[in-house]
Amino acid sequence: MPFENALFQLAQLFLWPVTLMVFGVFAYSLMCLGGFAVEALRRRRQPGRVLVLSRWAGGSAEALELAVLKELEGLRLCSRVAPMLGLVATMIPMGPALVAVASGQSQGVAQSLAPAFAAVIVALVAASITFVVYSVRRRWLLAEMLQLLDGPDGANA
């Protein structure tokens, strides 16, 4: 039993850091959504212009590809890590909730699970936002990359 108790206590230690990370990925997703809206407006006002990758103009295809990956890395990570953080934030309170069920304390179950399910919802919303932004920005950046590689006259440089 001491091993199981140690694991239980260790898991409980992760509740606050994981909850803070869920808040963090949600704040990051909102920040990315705002930046995405600004970029969409710029792209609508200046169609056909290279907006993001202009500082890598004249670089090799590999350098441009690396620049695209760098631009998208945060979105990609957030869209993949946020659901895992939500799952962890849901699973940690399940232990105390199961103990409350076993002892017949339904109020304890509600107190344990309400924040847990809220955390998973917030994390999934953050993942959804960042995945949509990632998908559209990826298309935009790849189009810019092709434009830079083809050169101003449309011929392969």
Contact 25, 85 (CB under 8 A): yes
Closest CA to 74 of 27, 140, 17, 121: 27
For residue 47, report the phi and psi dihedrals to the nearest 5 degrees: -65, 145
Write out the H or E segment, with its range, that includes residue 129.
helix 106-150
Residues 6+ apart with CB under 8 A from 63: 56
Q: What is the pLDDT of residues 74-95, one digit of tens each?
A: 999 999 999 999 999 998 888 7
What pLDDT is recorded for position 40?
Answer: 97
Q: What is the pLDDT of residues 8-27, one digit of tens each?
A: 888 888 989 999 999 999 99
DSSP codes joined into one string, 37-96 = HHHHHHHHHSTT---SSGGGTT--HHHHHHHHHHHHHHHHHHHHHHHHHHHHHHHTTHHH
Q: How far is CA 6 from CA 2, 34, 155, in A?
A: 6, 43, 65
Q: What is the pLDDT of residues 101-118, one digit of tens each?
A: 777 777 767 777 888 889
In the chain, domain spans: 2-150
